[in-house]
């Protein structure tokens, strides 16, 4: 059963209504859910429109990329999933999501977050180290006639908590970085407004705007040493930007490799 939206969300959403288009127009709030991506997929299967949004204060089975768990304790984060049906937006939706969440956090809080390929939202912790405070998970569903919808889910750590040992040294939160508490309402509302803008860019043929902004927000996509697995074994190289399709380019000796999926180790 969906619940009534907390006042802090209500107010912030009202203030951004003219910039959000259909994003968040229909919004379902839960104090706890297994995964907002699953709830949004259920709604999409039942015919919910583009922009329909699911927000939860806690997840009991939050998912991350590459089969990982997304730690989602009550009240410590913002857990959000949005239905996107526009096929023109699908190929670069993960990058667009990263740009939208990074710009929204910057706009709502002033924290100069960056993106780490493909879609980690991080803060620069100095000496080439970065701490992650948000992540994006896009899950597509297709039928015989092609793409039906994509669920774009994002999780943003709001408060510092006791993170599980495997992520404790690499995770951070908005309040932890800013040294003050942060209202979740404006962060959510700005994310939806920024997502509306970036999905519109993709749908109207302005892919370069999204890719260009992504590159500006991602200094580590150029000149950072990385290692990744290829068919031929493990390759070490230096990041050299991203391709038009969102692949991370890595210079390794005389070759430039395009990394499209899997895990990249930042050295």
Please report, as ranges, the residues that interact with ligand BTN according to CB under 6 A: 35-37, 59, 62-65, 68, 70, 79-81, 120, 135-137, 153-155
Quick one: 123 or 240, whose CB is closer to ligand BTN?
123
Nearest distance, CB of residue 149 and ligand BTN, angstroms? 15
User: What is the CA 156 to chain-centroid distance, rounded?
Assistant: 8
Quick one: 70 or 149, whose CB is closer to ligand BTN?
70
Quick one: 68 or 208, whose CB is closer to ligand BTN?
68
Nearest distance, CB of residue 54 and ligand BTN, angstroms? 8
Quick one: 15 or 65, whose CB is closer to ligand BTN?
65
Nearest distance, CB of residue 47 and ligand BTN, angstroms? 21
Q: Three-state SS for 77?
A: strand
Quick one: 53 or 109, whose CB is closer to ligand BTN?
53
Nearest distance, CB of residue 17 and ligand BTN, angstroms? 23
How far apart are the C-alpha atoms of 42 and 45, rounded to whole Å?
Answer: 5
Q: Give whole-number Cα distances, 154 to 11, 57, 61, 168, 196, in Å.
A: 21, 13, 14, 19, 15
**Residue closest to ligand BTN, measured at CB:** 135
Specify burial of residue 118 (Cβ count, 10 A radius: 0-12, 13-18, 19+).
buried
Alpha carbons within 13 angstroms on the beta-carbon side of residue 136 total 26
Q: Three-state SS for 2?
A: coil
Cβ atoms within 10 Å, residue 100? 28
Nearest distance, CB of residue 135 and ligand BTN, angstroms? 2
């Amino acid at each position: 059963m969906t619940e009534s939206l907390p006042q802090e969300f209500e107010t912030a959403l009202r203030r951004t209504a003219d910039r959000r288009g259909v994003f968040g127009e229909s919004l379902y709030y839960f104090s706890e859910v297994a995964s907002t991506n699953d709830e949004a997929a259920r709604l999409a299967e039942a015919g919910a429109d583009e922009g329909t949004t699911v927000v939860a204060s806690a997840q009991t089975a939050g998912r991350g990329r590459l089969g990982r768990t997304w730690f989602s304790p009550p009240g410590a984060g913002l857990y959000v999933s949005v239905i996107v049906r526009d096929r023109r937006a699908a190929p670069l939706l993960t990058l667009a999501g990263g740009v939208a969440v990074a710009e929204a956090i910057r706009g709502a809080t002033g924290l100069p977050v960056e993106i780490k390929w493909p879609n980690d939202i991080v803060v620069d912790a100095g000496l080439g180290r970065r701490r992650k405070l948000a992540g994006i998970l896009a899950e597509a569903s297709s039928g015989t006639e092609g793409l039906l919808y994509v669920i774009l889910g994002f999780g943003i750590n709001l408060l510092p908590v006791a993170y599980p040992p495997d992520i404790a040294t690499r995770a951070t939160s908005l309040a932890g970085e800013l040294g003050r508490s942060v209202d979740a309402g404006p962060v959510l509302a700005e994310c939806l407004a920024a997502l509306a803008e970036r999905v519109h860019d993709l749908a109207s043929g302005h892919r370069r705007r999204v890719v260009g902004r992504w590159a500006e927000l991602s200094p580590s996509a150029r000149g950072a040493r990385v290692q990744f697995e290829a068919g031929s074994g493990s390759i070490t190289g230096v990041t050299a930007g991203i391709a038009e399709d969102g692949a991370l380019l890595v210079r390794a000796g005389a070759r430039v490799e395009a990394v499209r999926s899997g895990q990249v180790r930042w050295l």
